[in-house]
Chains A and B, each alone.
Chain A
Amino acid sequence: MKAKTALPVGQEAIREKGWWKAYRFLILRRASQAVFLSLFLLGPWFGLWLVEGTLAGSRTLGVLPLTDPLVLLQGLVAGHWPELTALTGALIVLVAYALLGGRSYCSWVCPINPVTDAAHWLHDRLDLPKGWQPKRHTRLWLLGAVLATSALTGTIAWELVNPITMLHRGLVFGLGFAWALVALVFLFDLFVSRRGWCGHLCPVGAFYGLVGHKSLLRVTASKRAACDGCMDCFAVCPENHVISPALRGKGAETPLILSPDCTNCGRCIDVCSVDVFAFTHRFDPRIEATPEPSPDAPDEMAA
């Protein structure tokens, strides 16, 4: 259960750091999501063809190809060896996410993220029960099932139901009934399973998690000694099991959040009133010693 503190989540940060610093990464993230979507919409809406195509495959400024590596991988196992353009595009995307954190895709680019975030916000508001909580690695199993199905049917199987590309393509090319799938994801997260889709099931997130396994960009809890145990970071983190090892590490244990599940959303940085967290790279083991760790910090955290 969430340990409620005297102040609602994030209030202390607003008071200590000001509104902008307490919401900075959330706002930047929404802006990034909006930019990624509108780049694709500038063409069909205003005739500005900077980026053409969809998230599955695009062409920027008429030259730069980008391809969704998971879609291409499904095509590969289904038996099609793609042309160089698509391969190049996938390679660029893979390298980018291998450096920036695979699941940065989830929090900074994916058009479904605002949907599931909205569901979670409402879920909190209505104080609904957690509901069904499948194991975190369920999504890896599903990823395996998706690839197996692609191989067995000889089709790019996940694209038949993938709410991400359906929503994105729908907005850029025409939605059809794809909105129903998106609504389904929203309702699932709201009533069936808290943070269920992105946190437990989505095979795309699982794939990007694998891609960013050793990514350079990481969040560090280098000032963990300053933690006052308010638990706000646990409350906002969509994958809050990733925090404990870094935040509760003893002595020389790394302060880096090294779990590939971390989406690099930066919300923990926002809501921490004492600025325990910061973005850094994975070879930055610095732990900033604050003489006295707060005495009332709980030593065992429930994820």
Chain B
Amino acid sequence: MSPQRRRFLTDTARMAAGCVLAGSGLAWLARDARALPAEALRPPGALPEKAFLAACIRCGLCVRDCPYDTLSLAELGEDGAATGTPFFTARDVPCEMCDDIPCVAACPTGALDKGLTDIDDARMGTAVLVDQENCLNFLGLRCDVCYRVCPVIDEAITLEVSHNDRSGHHAIFAPTVHADHCTGCGVCEKSCVLPEAAIKVLPTRLARGTPAEHYRKGWEEMEEKGAPLVDGVIDLPDRLPGPGTDNLAAPGGFEPAFKLPEGASQ
């Protein structure tokens, strides 16, 4: 091998090795950057995180056009989201769900998808009532604030009434989120009156489970079919509340076969 050729080859090998090293370093950072922290929410219409990081050029035009200063660009080492990408923190400034969605209109790349034309279809995250032990409504009070402020009231949050076992004769109005309608705007989290919100908007991947594919909801399928799924099934009488519960008046109840010893807890 001639010296020049040898030199050329070693130089090239050295350069390639350096580039592989630099590239791996970058790739490592890129992997890190994908881990969007739970409290950082993307603007409406944002592509799924992985696609978003390929699309968003970090120009900040969405931030500029948000009339409520909801959005900001992540700063290096201070905010968890990938540096320079737009995000918001619901408890600081939630998304006010503008009808004309200016942030999406501003985005030059399509990182915020122009296919989002109705802000009610936005899915920035999903609200979860994370702390039933501190939620005032769960304690039996009528706070209702999260329910009242929700822009999709009565669809995204409803108040589900149940008996208050503690007082014995009041109701509990449990704020209940319906993920199919929740946009993840974060207004409920922002408005929760507690020092630390009992209702929080989480990224949907954290907020939700997925249905088990093999588990079929018989009652839904029966409704679809309009008849029992399996022919000839005998429908046995249901056991209704009756004696032994506090609903002694209900007809058709059964007397328990034996009485619990006096003083035993139920």
Contacts and interface: CB of A to CB of B under 8 A. Distances in A.
Interface of A: 43, 49, 52-54, 56-59, 65, 67-68, 71-72, 75, 78-83, 85-86, 89, 135, 138, 141-142, 144-146, 148-150, 152-161, 165-166, 169-170, 172-178, 180-181
Contacts of A148: 23
A159 B11 contact: no
B54 A53 contact: no
B108 A83 contact: yes
Given A173-B63, A178-B75, 18 more contacts: A52-B61, A53-B59, A56-B57, A67-B108, A71-B57, A71-B58, A80-B47, A81-B110, A138-B15, A144-B19, A145-B22, A145-B23, A146-B23, A148-B23, A155-B33, A156-B53, A158-B26, A160-B29
A28 to B, nearest CB: 28
A146 B58 contact: no
Interface stretch (B79-87, B121-129, B137-145, B207-215): B79-87
B114 A83 contact: yes
B57 A177 contact: no
B20 A165 contact: no
Given A144-B19, A173-B73, A176-B77, A82 B109 contact: yes
Nearest to B84: A169
Nearest to B16: A141
B30 A83 contact: no
Contacts of A83: 107-110, 114
Nearest to A154: B54
Contact of A142 (B22, B33, B56, B109): B22
Given A155-B30, A165-B84, A80 B110 contact: yes
Contact of A169 (B34, B60, B109): B60
B5 interface: no
B64 interface: yes
Contact of A80 (B22, B27, B55, B108): B55
A86 B2 CA distance: 50
A170 B75 contact: yes
A158 B23 CA distance: 10
Contacts of A174: 72-73, 75
19 contacts: A53-B59, A54-B58, A56-B84, A67-B59, A72-B109, A79-B51, A82-B108, A82-B109, A85-B108, A142-B22, A149-B23, A152-B23, A153-B26, A155-B53, A156-B56, A166-B76, A169-B60, A173-B60, A177-B76
Contact of A78 (B18, B54, B58, B110): B54
Interface of B: 11, 15-16, 18-20, 22-23, 26-27, 29-31, 33-34, 47, 50-51, 53-61, 63-64, 72-79, 82-84, 106-111, 114
A80 B53 CA distance: 9
A75 B59 CA distance: 13
A155 B111 CA distance: 12
Nearest to A53: B59
A59 B60 CA distance: 10
A173 B33 contact: no
A180 B74 CA distance: 16
B23 A176 contact: no
B60 A176 contact: no
Contact of B60 (A68, A166, A172): A172
In this complex, which of A80, A157, A170 has the most chain B Cβ atoms within 10 angstroms of its Cβ? A80
A146 B75 CA distance: 22
A235 to B, nearest CB: 28
Contacts of B59: 53-54, 56-58, 67
Given A154-B53, A154-B54, A160 B83 contact: yes
Of the candidates A43, A161, A172, the one having the most CB atoms from chain B within 10 angstroms of its own CB is A161
Contact of A75 (B19, B55, B73, B75): B55
Given A82-B109, A165-B58, A169-B58, A160 B33 contact: yes
A178 B23 contact: no
Contact of A161 (B29, B53, B72): B29
B19 A142 contact: yes
